[in-house]
């Protein structure tokens, strides 16, 4: 995606860079906001992402496609951000790298589809913050940024299998949370109905 | 899946920056880009393309970037420039020039460091002295020799002389004879340089206006003093050893080879100088032959001759390298002509003829004196004639050419004085058609005529002492004689 060479058409480096800003700043901001749950900090991170890429261009590198590169830089910045915020939890996060291969069901994209079909997207989105970080990361990349499993695996440097397993488990967790919420709401309603019935009698 | 994805994605769209946030972010980024512009070569390329698109640039100021990266790329070229071109250009510099320091502190020091042999070191120091002197002469000829520069040159000459002397000192411990030869050469060199300085101002005085010439004479005084002082010290130091005949002849051989090389280089020179130089080389060759003849029986004489030859050849080398082209110095003063025995005989005969002629003239004038002429005056003239007779007997007694020459010239001088006195007292001076002594010898014609001038200067006091009657009794005559000399 980037190679060190002195380019022949330096005049449009600036223009290309600004184009990339217009095109991806929204997506990057959204990604950052969802990942770190802090609007202002997210703006800063997007800014830092672009300045880092600019420095890279200044050093003489040429960037063929901006999107994966921008995501990569932003992802690294977010990891740094986590590290700053709560070190212990990040250590824990890095330690659970050894996710098991997962079952056959978890590895199949079709099972992900069937699983996803059973989930209410809007509810799931609201519950995103309650997911463990590593699931949240892949879910955002997959469903918000709409990257394919291969792109995600390149970005966070995990095998495609691991990505698939994480997406699957993340979705399952989300469904469980949604179901739990539904149940809770249902119970509540039931109790309420009971209470009103009692009051009537 | 589609439903979920769509729902999820649509929901996520709600998370976005406001237009003000976006604008702010963009401004931050653009200002960052301005503070951290693209590197020089990209920027310059960009600029040129912009310029080609719009010929009119509405810029309040223009950034001129120094292409450091290009400099880095061409560092090889830069190194070549610094290491070869600058020293090369510096070679032509004189005190006061920007590159003079490079010449003295870098070029010459590097060469000093690269000479390992003691003898070569002495030679190099000799050359450095010559270079300083040449610089001083050049500045002098341009009227740029200030007191400060002069002091600098004197200091440098002193330093180089001391260096050479120290080197000779250390040589003496290893090889006393070699040291002696080196010291002879160095001494001859200094002598030649001193002669050039004493000669120089006179020429300058003739050539330039009064005011500047006075300045120049004053200016080079310090250098003259320094050189004289150094030479005096030197003479004391080098008295003891005499180098062996073999070593001397080897060194003389080297010098004569160098002389032949130089004389070939001087092919284009004006014919007079060329003739003079050729004559000196012939003299040297003759002396060498004589030394070779003397060597088997009388080695010390041969050694003395060779030492003399060494001095002469050294001075001649200095003359040919430094002065031949500028012609600022008279070769006769530096290396006098050595006459062959035939020439000596011819010259003595010429002198004798001259004296006899003058005697006859004076006597003729005297006989023309009438009663009005005071007897005192006639007595004085006669006393003078007797003095001339004394000198003539002295010349016939002596068999050393130099002595004969001195006496002869003294006699001629005296005769000239007498004739002047006669003229002053309104007595007719009878002058016969003259054959000058110089014209008798064909090869030495030009040199002998020039040689009489300094000889006269040295013998004038001798005239004053040997003929007290003349000089005391007729002060105006004596005054005119010295003025004429």
Whole-number pLDDT of residue A194: 83
Mean pLDDT of B348-357: 84
Q: What confidence score (pLDDT) does residue A49 get?
A: 93
- pLDDT tens digits for range B423-471: 777 666 555 554 444 444 444 444 444 444 443 333 334 333 344 444 3
Q: Which residue has the higher pLDDT, B62 or A142?
A: A142
| Mean of the per-residue pLDDT values of chain B | 71
> Distance between CA atoms of B333 and B191, rounded to whole angstroms?
11
| Residue A58 pLDDT exceeds 50 | yes
Q: What is the mean pLDDT of residues B355-361?
A: 82
Residue B144 confidence class, pLDDT cut points 50, 70, 90:
confident
Residues 6+ apart with CB under 8 A from B469: B380, B383, B384
Q: Is the pLDDT of residue B288 over 70?
A: yes
Inform me whether the C-beta atom of residue B34 falls under 8 Å from chain A C-beta atoms. no
Higher pLDDT, B67 or A58: A58
Query: Highest mean pLDDT: which of A152-156, B151-155, B387-391?
Result: A152-156
pLDDT tens-place string over residues B29-66 = 989 888 888 775 655 444 444 344 444 445 566 667 77
Question: Which of B5, B17, B32 lies closest to A54 in CB terms?
Answer: B32
Question: Which B positions 45-104 lie with beta carbon below 8 A of chain A?
Answer: 45-46, 49-50
Query: Would you state the pLDDT for residue B471?
Result: 39
What residues does each domain of chain A span?
Answer: 2-91, 104-200
Q: What's the average model confidence in pLDDT over B212-226?
A: 56
Q: How many CB pairs under 8 A join A and B?
A: 103
The pTM assigned to this predicted structure is: 0.42
- Average pLDDT for B200-206: 44
- The mean pLDDT of B367-373, rounded to a whole number, is 67
Residues of chain A in contact with residue B32, where contact means CB-CB under 8 angstroms, are 51, 54
CB contacts, 8 Å: B37 with chain A: 58
* CB contact set of B199 (below 8 Å; sequence gap of 6+): B328, B329, B330, B333
Q: Count Cβ neighbours within 10 Å for each residue of B33-47 and write b for 16 or more, e otherwise.
A: beeeebbebbbbbbb
CATH fold of A2-91 = Rna Polymerase Sigma Factor; Chain: A (1.10.1740)
Structure confidence at residue A36 (pLDDT):
86
Helices A109-117 and A160-200, axial angle in degrees (round to 10): 20
Architecture of the domain delimited by A104-200: Orthogonal Bundle (1.10)
* B9, B41, B50 member nearest A143 (Cβ): B9
Candidates B14, B26, B29, B44: best to mutate against A (most CBs of A within 10 A) is B29
Q: Are B437 and B350 in contact (CB under 8 A)?
A: yes
Rounded-to-integer distance, Cα B287 and Cα B308, Å: 9
Over residues B82-99, the mean pLDDT reads 78
């Amino acid at each position: 995606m980037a190679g060190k060479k002195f380019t022949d058409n330096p005049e449009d480096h600036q223009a290309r860079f600004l184009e990339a800003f217009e095109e991806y700043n929204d997506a990057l901001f959204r990604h950052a906001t969802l990942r770190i749950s802090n609007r202002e900090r997210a703006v800063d991170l997007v800014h830092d992402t672009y300045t880092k890429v600019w420095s890279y261009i200044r050093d003489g590198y040429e960037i063929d496609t901006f999107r994966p590169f921008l995501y990569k830089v932003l992802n690294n910045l977010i990891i740094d951000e986590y590290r700053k915020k709560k070190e212990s939890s990040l250590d824990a996060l890095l330690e659970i790298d050894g996710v098991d291969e997962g079952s056959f069901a978890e590895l199949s994209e079709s099972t992900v589809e069937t699983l996803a079909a059973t989930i209410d997207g809007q509810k799931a989105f609201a519950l995103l913050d309650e997911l463990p970080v590593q699931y949240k990361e892949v879910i955002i990349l997959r469903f918000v940024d709409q990257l394919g499993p291969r792109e995600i695996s390149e970005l966070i440097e995990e095998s495609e299998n691991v990505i698939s397993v994480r997406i699957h488990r993340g979705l399952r967790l989300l469904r469980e949370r949604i179901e739990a919420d539904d149940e809770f709401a249902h119970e509540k309603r039931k109790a309420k109905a009971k209470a009103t019935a009692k009051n009537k009698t | 899946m589609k439903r979920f994805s769509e729902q999820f994605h649509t929901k996520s769209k709600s998370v976005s920056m406001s237009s003000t946030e976006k604008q702010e972010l963009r401004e931050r980024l653009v200002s960052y880009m301005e503070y951290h512009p693209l590197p020089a070569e990209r920027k310059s390329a960009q600029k040129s393309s912009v310029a080609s698109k719009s010929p009119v640039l509405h810029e309040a100021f223009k950034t001129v970037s120094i292409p450091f990266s290009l400099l880095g790329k061409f560092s090889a070229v830069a190194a070549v420039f610094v290491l070869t071109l600058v020293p090369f250009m510096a070679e032509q510099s004189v005190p006061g020039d920007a590159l003079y320091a490079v010449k003295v502190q870098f070029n010459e020091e590097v060469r000093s460091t690269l000479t390992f042999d003691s003898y070569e070191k002495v030679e190099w120091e000799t050359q450095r002295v010559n270079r300083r002197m040449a610089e001083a002469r050049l500045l002098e000829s341009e009227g740029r020799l200030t007191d400060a520069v002069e002091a600098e040159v004197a200091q440098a000459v002193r330093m180089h002389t001391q260096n050479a002397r120290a080197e000779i000192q250390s040589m003496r411990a290893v090889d006393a004879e070699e040291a002696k030869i080196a010291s002879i050469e160095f001494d001859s060199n200094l002598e030649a340089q001193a002669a050039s300085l004493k000669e120089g101002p006179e020429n300058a005085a003739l050539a330039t206006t009064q005011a500047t010439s006075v300045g120049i004479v004053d200016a080079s005084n310090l250098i003259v003093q320094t050189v004289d002082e150094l030479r005096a010290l030197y003479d004391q130091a080098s008295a003891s050893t005499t180098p062996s005949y073999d070593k001397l002849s080897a060194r003389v051989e080297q010098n004569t080879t160098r002389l032949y090389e130089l004389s070939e280089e001087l092919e284009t020179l004006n014919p007079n100088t060329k003739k003079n130089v050729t004559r000196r080389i012939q003299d040297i060759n003759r002396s060498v032959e004589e030394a070779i003849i003397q060597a088997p029986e009388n080695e010390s004489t041969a050694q003395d001759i060779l030492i003399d030859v060494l001095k002469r050849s050294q001075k001649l080398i200095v003359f040919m390298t430094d002065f031949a082209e500028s012609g600022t110095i008279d070769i006769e003063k530096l290396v006098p002509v050595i006459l062959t025995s035939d020439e000596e005989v011819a010259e003595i005969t010429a002198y004798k003829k001259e004296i006899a002629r003058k005697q006859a003239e004076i006597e003729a004038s005297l006989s023309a004196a009438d009663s009005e002429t005071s007897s005192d005056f006639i007595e004085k003239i006669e006393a003078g004639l007797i003095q001339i007779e004394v000198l003539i007997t002295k010349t016939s007694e002596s068999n050393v050419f130099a002595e004969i020459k001195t006496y002869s010239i003294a006699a001629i001088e005296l005769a000239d004085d007498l004739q002047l006195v006669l003229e002053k007292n309104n007595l007719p001076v009878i002058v016969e058609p003259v054959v000058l002594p110089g014209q008798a010898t064909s090869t030495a014609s030009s040199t002998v005529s020039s040689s009489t001038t300094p000889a006269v200067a040295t013998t004038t006091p001798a005239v004053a002492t040997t003929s007290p009657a003349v000089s005391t009794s007729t002060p105006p005559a004596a005054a005119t004689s010295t003025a004429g000399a």
